[in-house]
Amino acid sequence: MNHRHLIAASRAHLAKYPAPAPVSGPMTMFPGGARWMYDRLNELDGGAIRPFDPEINYTLMGYLKYGICLTGASLACWWSLQYDPFLLPLSILVFYLLEVQFLFLFPLLIDGAKQPILSGIREVLRIGVIRCLLTVIPLSIFMMTGLLRRKNNFHHWYIGCLSILIWYKHEVRNRISPSL
């Protein structure tokens, strides 16, 4: 599935199941997003997934994921400025090279994977890092440009998040054992 197929599938799903916005705030952003993802995965599976586990530290995992990504991008940015400012756009590529390694982290956490970080990296390597980048970067552009809309500016964001969940269900969840 490419980004166009994922966006179309997400739009169709949200038309059938309009989803409320996740609860958000500085300390509830990741748990609220995880709960939103859980509800969407439950819809995709027809209510057949395990109960939501609020004890999982989604905040820690979210800050870990984006901390690593932003640190890598910042180091690449610093390096670019030291050697050749024209290389600065490579820092964006470094961010996404790191981010795709954590692409399925939250769905794997929701599904109760024993080693969600390692499992996610294994799945990305199986799918292919380049294929993941060629899917995630256009999805990210779609999500970010949606934030510029005057009305309903998070709509594209939710479509993008749901796209990752649909991709996860198609590429990862349907091929691994239910017990993870």
Q: Residue-wise pLDDT tens for the chain (180 aa)?
A: 899 999 999 999 999 988 777 766 666 789 999 999 999 999 998 877 788 998 999 999 999 999 999 999 999 999 999 999 899 999 999 999 999 999 999 999 999 998 999 999 999 999 999 999 999 999 999 999 998 888 888 889 999 999 999 999 999 987 665 444
Number of domains composing the chain: 1
Name, in order, each residue with C-beta under 8 angstroms of 4's C-beta and a sequence gap of 6 or more. none
End-to-end CA distance of the chain: 23
The DSSP output letter for 169 is: I
Does the residue 135 lie in any domain?
A: yes
Q: Would you say residue 87 lies in a domain?
A: yes
- The model's pTM is 0.89
Return the closest-CA partner of residue 101 out of 54, 136, 141, 151.
Answer: 136
Alpha-carbon gap, residue 171 to 174, rounded angstroms:
7
Residue 65 lies in a domain: yes
Residue 165 within any structural domain of the chain: yes
Residue 51 lies in a domain: no
Residue 89 lies in a domain: yes
> Rounded to whole angstroms, what are the CA distances from 153 to 7, 34, 110?
16, 20, 26
Domain region containing 34 = 3-14+21-45+56-173
Whether residue 180 lies inside any domain: the answer is no
Give a yes or no: residue 10 inside a domain.
yes
